[in-house]
């Protein structure tokens, strides 16, 4: 089966689509571009499917390369056979290829290699054959030499050789691997360590390998790494030893006892330790991929949260000794005002801080206060709730995740953006901008520092970065970027661009006082025709010379778009003036296929163009849930069982979802409490940023734990 055939089968795609996607990737097209502007070539697959396809293509090509290397090495040894060719052709994973290669792979010095060097391989052949035509002890006498002084030494060497052969048997390893995966247990016990209380859950722990959830694997791995846990894989040997005997035991009384010893040695010394390591590695790989997937699932809605446009926002970065850092930004994100106040301990100058911030709020006409959720957040929230009561204008507040804000504020990028502000004030600006436009601000931060998952520091960092960067690219390109206001950071995530070209774009627009048309991009240094093809559709020119430049319609489809408008006696002025409300109906009456053919495009492209013409300049995030704005604060001590709140989902993990209900500590909705019906995974029910109604199940102030449920809550618009 070819790679194209395999991918077609695995992804349920027509062969033509698989071949087209591979060609598009090989030609250097980006995933966002392929997903948006080549739909006819791949059947309208979304960006996530295309990324998975690209990952799988990379794996399969690597698999083919490894097969070729293995064939070359074995052929050079003069040991290539039709059986090996068939086995290699049927190998579906790199592990299976490694199993086939194992007997032919140059090995470091082993007990078996030492025995082979002493000339004992023929005796091993006789022992393994277990033929009744030979008496093994008699045959062993023929191999006694100066290097092999006794019959016992000869037998021992032969046993070592056969044991290694058993361990190298690819078919046997595959069968045992499957048995261990389906029947083995992972077992943990506590080690003597002053920090082992963290892992008390895993004292005397035992669970089937096939059923253990990914988050538990990661916790166990961390406990083992911190020398708090002893971890091992166990399995009933009645399930494994007979399998080896099936391959290697031939019921010869003369050799039975010796072969029992060989099989036991092969299993205990070679096979099981190797397969145990494989099992642990597979569990870790699976857990890592699941954890990375959860980062991916959580990051996407976080980046796509609705922006709070046209608001003056005060960023409030809480602190104790060094005070609370304040920055006010205008509707475009530019800094209007900054200060530092000390309403929290140890200085506790609340009255002075209140007077200072009241004046700042009224002077700058602040609409919303964004409070970072880090150190001193609770005290700051209490202070802000009181402050709002004394301000002579309507002001509300929202608590904003400040994950990664300190990383950004100390970065070279922040220093370039705010050379005149110290690190702390940069954090306050970032917090305000996160509420105003989450996507534009969060892309400036290392994606691993955004804090929407678990065990991020335990993940394979390159893989985590690759996946999360892909999410950022998909989000940026699906929203689109204002060519005349976007930062270099934001522009660098646009399809076909990088940071160097992004800086050239900013330099060009500064020199030319802004872009009037998309095609001016071709005058930007280092931005050639290929980069233009990839990026143009995702960049918007607001208020430019061509209304189509403020849509996601690609310049390559402008002629088709004008044909579409002309066929219904419409113009670009009608697009600008939003006079196309009847266009979908007109297309339907004439027939989508016919209209698409007349315009020289496919139906998916026609549908996309129509959508864009109806709402030029639209921001798809506007349909997302808005942040919850508050004017008063809730204390954990105020919570009682049965109270119902409206909250925001802050994080989704394998075992549930954490929800912010306005208390400093997020509450946990366990997977069993997410719905009255069965929930396979929390991400099937909720996502980061969702506004949900929850009921308090239990509160433990000592452990700072809040248990919530989403079951059995009546719909009510007056939630707390």
Give 199-238 pLDDT, tens digit per residue. Answer: 999 999 999 999 999 999 999 999 999 999 999 999 999 9
Phi, psi (5° rounding) for residue 185?
Answer: -120, 150
Phi, psi (5° rounding) for residue 243?
Answer: -65, -45
Are residues 7 and 60 in contact, defined by beta-carbon separation less than 8 angstroms?
A: yes
Which long-range contacts does 571-574 make (Cβ < 8 Å, 24+ apart)? Answer: 572/546, 572/547, 572/548
User: Nearest-CA neighbor of 389 among 356, 354, 422, 418?
Assistant: 354
The predicted pLDDT at position 1 comes to: 83
Other residues' Cβ atoms within 10 Å of the Cβ of residue 29: 20
Q: In angstroms, rounded to a whole number, what is the distance separating the alpha carbons of residues 324 and 344?
A: 8
CA-CA-CA-CA torsion for 440, 441, 443, 447, nearest 10 degrees? -150
Point out which residues pair with 647 in neighbouring strands: 692
- The tokens for 401 are 């995740």
Q: In angstroms, how far is CA 328 from the centroid of its own chain? A: 33
Over residues 640-668, the pLDDT tens digits come to: 999 999 888 988 999 999 998 888 788 99
pTM: 0.83
Residue with tokens 């609370």: 324
Ramachandran quadrant class, 692 (left: phi over 0; alpha: psi -120 to 50; beta: rest): beta
Strand residues in 380-537 grouped as ranges (E)? 396-400, 481-482
- Crossing angle of helices 170-183 and 241-248, in 10° steps, is 160
3 state DSSP class of 668: strand
Domains of the chain, start order? 3-104 (1.10.10.650), 313-465 (3.30.420.140), 479-622 (1.10.150.310), 636-709 (2.40.50.140)
- The tokens for 371 are 């409070």
Q: In angstroms, rounded to a whole number, what is the distance separating the alpha carbons of residues 372 and 178?
A: 49
Looking at residue 148, what DSSP letter applies?
Answer: S
Q: For residue 484, give every residue at least 6 positions away whose Cβ sits within 8 Å of its Cβ, in sequence order, or none.
A: 509, 514, 515, 541, 542
User: Nearest-CA neighbor of 318 among 408, 406, 392?
Assistant: 406
Q: In angstroms, rounded to a whole number, what is the distance separating the alpha carbons of residues 240 and 148?
A: 33
Are residues 160 and 183 in contact, defined by beta-carbon separation less than 8 angstroms?
A: no
DSSP string, 164-195: HHHHT-HHHHHHHHHHHHHH-EEEEEE-S-TT
Q: Which residues of 657-678 are buried (b: 16+ CB within 10 A; e: fewer)?
A: bbbbbbbbbbbbbebebbbeee
Q: How many CA atoms lie within 13 A of 529 on its CB side?
A: 1
- The tokens for 583 are 């266009």
Phi, psi (5° rounding) for residue 307?
Answer: -75, 150
Q: In angstroms, rounded to a whole number, what is the distance separating the alpha carbons of residues 553 and 563?
A: 14
Q: What is the largest CA-CA distance in the chain?
A: 106
Q: In angstroms, rounded to a whole number, what is the distance separating the alpha carbons of residues 149 and 527?
A: 77
Are residues 603 and 588 in contact, defined by beta-carbon separation less than 8 angstroms?
A: no
Are residues 131 and 251 in contact, defined by beta-carbon separation less than 8 angstroms?
A: no
Q: Which residues of the chain have pLDDT under 50?
A: 717-718
Q: In angstroms, rounded to a whole number, what is the distance separating the alpha carbons of residues 369 and 395?
A: 7
Q: For residue 109, give every residue at least 6 positions away whose Cβ sits within 8 Å of its Cβ, in sequence order, or none.
A: none
The predicted pLDDT at position 27 comes to: 97
Looking at residue 571, what DSSP letter applies?
Answer: -
The predicted pLDDT at position 624 comes to: 80
Which long-range contacts does 88-97 make (Cβ < 8 Å, 24+ apart)? Answer: 91/63, 91/67, 93/63, 94/62, 94/63, 94/66, 95/177, 95/278, 96/170, 96/174, 97/63, 97/66, 97/67, 97/70
Is the omega angle on the peptide bond into residue 31 within 30 degrees of 0, that is, cis? Answer: no
- The tokens for 436 are 């105003």
User: Nearest-CA neighbor of 384 among 345, 406, 358, 349?
Assistant: 358
Q: In angstroms, rounded to a whole number, what is the distance separating the alpha carbons of residues 288 and 215?
A: 9
């Amino acid at each position: 089966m070819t790679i194209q055939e395999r991918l077609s089968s695995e992804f349920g795609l027509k062969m033509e689509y698989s071949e087209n996607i591979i060609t598009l990737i090989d030609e250097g097209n980006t995933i966002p571009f392929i997903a948006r502007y080549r739909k006819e070539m791949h059947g309208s697959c979304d960006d996530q499917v295309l990324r998975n396809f690209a990952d799988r293509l990379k794996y399969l090509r690597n698999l083919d390369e490894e097969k070729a290397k293995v064939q070359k090495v074995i052929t050079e040894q003069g040991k290539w056979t039709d059986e090996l060719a068939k086995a290699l052709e049927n190998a579906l994973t790199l592990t299976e290829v490694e199993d086939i290669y194992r007997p032919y792979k140059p090995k470091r010095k082993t007990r078996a290699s030492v025995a082979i060097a002493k000339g004992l391989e023929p005796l091993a052949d006789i022992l393994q054959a277990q033929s009744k035509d030979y008496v093994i002890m008699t045959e062993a006498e023929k191999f006694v030499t100066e290097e092999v002084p006794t019959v016992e030494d000869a037998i021992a060497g032969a046993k070592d050789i056969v044991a290694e052969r058993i361990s190298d048997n690819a078919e046997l390893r595959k069968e045992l691997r499957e048995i261990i995966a389906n029947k083995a247990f992972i077992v943990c016990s506590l080690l003597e360590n002053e920090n082992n209380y963290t892992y008390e859950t895993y004292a005397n722990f035992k669970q089937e390998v096939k059923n253990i959830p990914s988050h538990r694997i990661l916790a166990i791995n961390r406990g083992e790494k911190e020398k708090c846990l002893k971890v091992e894989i166990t399995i009933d040997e009645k399930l494994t030893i007979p399998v080896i005997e099936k391959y290697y035991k031939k019921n010869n009384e003369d050799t039975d006892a010796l072969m029992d010893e060989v099989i036991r040695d092969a299993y205990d010394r070679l096979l099981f330790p190797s397969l145990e390591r494989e099992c642990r590695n597979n569990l870790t790989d699976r857990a890592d991929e699941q954890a990375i997937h959860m980062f991916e699932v959580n990051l996407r809605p976080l980046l796509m949260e609705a922006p709070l446009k046209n608001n003056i926002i005060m960023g409030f970065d809480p602190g104790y000794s060094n005070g609370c850092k304040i920055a006010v930004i205008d509707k475009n994100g530019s800094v209007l005002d900054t200060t530092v106040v000390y309403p929290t301990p140890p200085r506790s100058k609340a009255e002075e801080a209140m007077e200072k911030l009241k004046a700042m709020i009224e002077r700058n006409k602040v609409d919303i206060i964004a409070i970072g959720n880090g150190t001193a957040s609770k005290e700051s929230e209490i202070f802000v709730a009181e402050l709002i009561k004394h301000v002579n204008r309507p002001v509300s507040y929202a608590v904003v995740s400040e994950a990664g804000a300190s990383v950004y504020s100390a970065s070279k990028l922040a220093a370039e953006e705010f050379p005149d502000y110290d690190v702390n004030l940069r954090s306050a600006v970032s917090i305000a901008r996160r509420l105003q436009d989450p996507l534009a601000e969060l892309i400036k931060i290392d994606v691993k520092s955004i804090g929407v998952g678990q065990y991020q520091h335990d993940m394979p960092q390159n893989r985590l970065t690759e996946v999360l960067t892909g999410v950022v690219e998909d989000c940026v390109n699906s929203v689109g970027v204002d060519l005349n206001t976007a930062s270099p950071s934001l522009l660098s995530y646009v399809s076909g661009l990088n940071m160097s070209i992004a800086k050239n774009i900013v330099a060009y627009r500064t020199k030319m006082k802004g872009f009037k048309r998309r095609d001016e991009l071709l005058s930007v240094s280092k931005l050639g025709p290929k980069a233009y093809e990839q990026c143009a559709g995702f960049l918007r020119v607001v208020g430019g010379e061509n209304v189509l430049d403020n849509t996601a319609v690609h310049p390559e489809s402008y002629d088709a778009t004008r044909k579409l408008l002309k066929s219904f006696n419409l113009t670009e002025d009608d697009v600008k003036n939003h006079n196309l409300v009847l266009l979908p109906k007109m297309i339907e009456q004439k027939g989508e296929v016919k209209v698409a053919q007349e315009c020289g495009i496919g139906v998916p492209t026609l549908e996309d163009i129509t959508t864009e013409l109806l709402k030029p300049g639209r921001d798809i995030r506007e349909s997302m849930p808005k942040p919850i704005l508050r004017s008063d604060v809730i204390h954990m001590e105020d919570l009682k069982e049965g109270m119902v709140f409206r909250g925001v989902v802050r994080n989704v993990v394998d075992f549930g979802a954490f929800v912010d209900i306005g208390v400093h500590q997020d509450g946990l909705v366990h997977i069993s409490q997410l719905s009255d019906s069965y929930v396979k995974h929390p991400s099937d029910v909720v996502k980061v940023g969702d506004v949900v109604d929850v009921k308090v199940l239990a509160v433990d102030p000592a452990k700072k734990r809040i248990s919530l449920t989403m079951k059995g809550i009546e719909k009510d618009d007056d939630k707390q």
